[in-house]
């Protein structure tokens, strides 16, 4: 039987947060924090997600800019994790960043959007994952509007939207 930490790493759950010189002021998963609340095997995720959702949410992929369902959505409502349904962002914090992906200045529930260092793609970025299930949502950057100065750049395929205030 493999030690629990190895099993979790193999399954792709983010456990450790890296350090940056200027880490955005967002919830960061640190060593010792609780594991994701929603736990499924990768086979279970493959069954409940579309191929595109699985590639982004579990495989840390990125949808093409200006192709997602929500980058140009201006309806009032709430955005939830497409994998587990956790509440992530409200439309009041959504703004047009011109990047082609839905952009938000702050999460609706800070604990549901967890950030950690991402060194993939040959550069240093801050990835954001669902705090409930550990699925990849996108990245956060320090070029957003006041008052937070943050831009959560999120894949539409990572989101479900519910209309209403």
Residues noted as catalytic: 153
Over the chain, what HEC string results? CCCHHHHHHHCCCCCCCCCCCCCCCCCECCCCCCCCCCCCCHHHHHHHCCHHHHHHHHCCCCCCCCCCCCCCCCCCEEEEECCCCCEEEEHHHEECCCCCCCEECCCCCHHHEEEEEECHHHCCEEEEEECCCCCEEEEEECCCCCCCCCEEEECHHHEEEEECC
């Amino acid at each position: 039987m493999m030690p629990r930490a190895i099993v979790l790493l193999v399954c792709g759950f983010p456990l450790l947060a890296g350090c940056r010189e200027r880490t955005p002021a967002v919830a960061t998963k640190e060593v010792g924090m609780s594991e994701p609340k929603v736990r499924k095997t990768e086979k279970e995720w493959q069954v409940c997600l579309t191929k595109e959702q699985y590639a982004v949410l579990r495989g840390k992929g990125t949808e093409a800019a200006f192709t997602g369902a929500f980058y140009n959505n201006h309806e009032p409502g709430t955005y939830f994790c497409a994998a587990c349904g956790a509440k992530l962002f409200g439309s009041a914090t959504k703004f047009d960043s011109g990047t082609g992906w839905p952009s938000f200045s702050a999460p609706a529930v800070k604990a549901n959007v967890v950030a950690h260092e991402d060194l993939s793609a040959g550069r240093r970025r801050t990835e954001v994952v669902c705090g409930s299930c550990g699925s990849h949502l996108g990245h956060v950057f320090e070029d957003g509007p006041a008052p937070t100065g943050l831009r959560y750049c999120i894949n539409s395929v990572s989101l479900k939207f519910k209309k209403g205030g």
